Amino acid sequence: MELLYFGDKGWGDELFFATLMTIAVSITAMIIGFLFAALFTPLKLSNNKFLNSIGNAYTTVIRGVPELLVIYLFFFGGSGAIMFVASIFGYNDYIEINAFLTGSFSIGIISGAYSTEVFRGALQSIDKGQFEAAKVLGFNKYIYFFKIILPQMLRLAIPNLSNVWQITLKDTSLISVTGLVEIMRQSYIAAGSTRDPLFFYSFAAVLYLMLTFLSMQLLNRLETKYSKGY
């Protein structure tokens, strides 16, 4: 237990901040994922064959390729791509992107593919009459989407989104390979310097269990709030 003391003696404070980092990366990745979903869900539902195939390609490729491979692509390829764009604008120095951004971006792209599928499913299961009625009543586009379609969609999507959250939270353990100090990386460092891997990795497992348990409690509450009848 001494190993978990806060301060210089133990790893308590380091692991605490690592846990906060995991939460921060998961939330950022989830938000980036929503942005991707907002972009690709309309494409997947579009009648245009070309746009449709772009949407399908995104979800198929990301969901069929291991997360670790996607992370390596952005970790090794990310700064190269940004430097290429920068060189177009005449900036030729070396640019290093921070591990937090690469990490949340790569996890965000993965989580976005799952969110896209969830939103697509939710939109498709809304009764067609709702769309037609809203159009017939002549609501403007803002009310049409934000007041009529979105609340109904969220209600259907939230249970599945909490699954996406769980997947995203667990996927963040993979970005420890890029050197970002989250729970896994911190446990790896602690295990290396104390030669007690069994304790630290088991403790990491407990931290993840705690995070999944607590977030499930919160999400269940959200789910009951949104599943009230309309």
Partner 1 sequence: MINSFPKLLNATLITLKLLSASLILGLFIGLGFAILRMNNNKLINKFAYGYSYIFRGTPLLVQIFIIYFGLGQIEYLRTTFLWVVLKEPYWCAIIAFSLNTGAYTSEILRSAFQTIKPGYLEAGRSLGIPSKIIFTKIQIPIAIKQSLPAYGNEIILMLKGTSLASTVTLMDLTGVAKYIISTTFKPVEVFIVAGGIYLFMTFIIHNVIKYLEKKYGFQT
Q: Smallest Cα–Cα separation from 185: which of 103, 110, 101, 77?
A: 103
Quote the DSSP letter at residue 227. Answer: T
> Residues 6 or more apart from 82 whose CB is under 8 A from it?
95, 97
**Minimum CB separation from partner 1 for residue 111, in Å?**
14
Q: Interface with partner 1 by CB under 8 A: which range of 27-35, 41-49, 144-152, 191-199?
A: 191-199
Q: Interface with partner 1 by CB under 8 A: which range of 8-16, 96-104, 127-135, 176-184?
A: 176-184
Q: Does 14 bind partner 1 (CB under 8 A)?
A: no
**Minimum CB separation from partner 1 for residue 192, in Å?**
9
Q: Does 60 bind partner 1 (CB under 8 A)?
A: yes
Q: How far is CA 151 from CA 31, 122, 126, 127, 230, in A?
A: 18, 11, 11, 13, 10
16, 24 contact by CB (below 8 A): no
Taking CB under 8 A as the criterion, the residue among 212, 219, 222, 223 binding partner 1 is: 212
In the block, tokens 């509450």 appear at: 221
Which residues form the interface with partner 1 (CB under 8 A)?
60-61, 63-69, 72-73, 76-77, 80, 166, 170-171, 173-174, 176-177, 184, 187-188, 191, 195-199, 201-202, 204-205, 208-209, 212-213
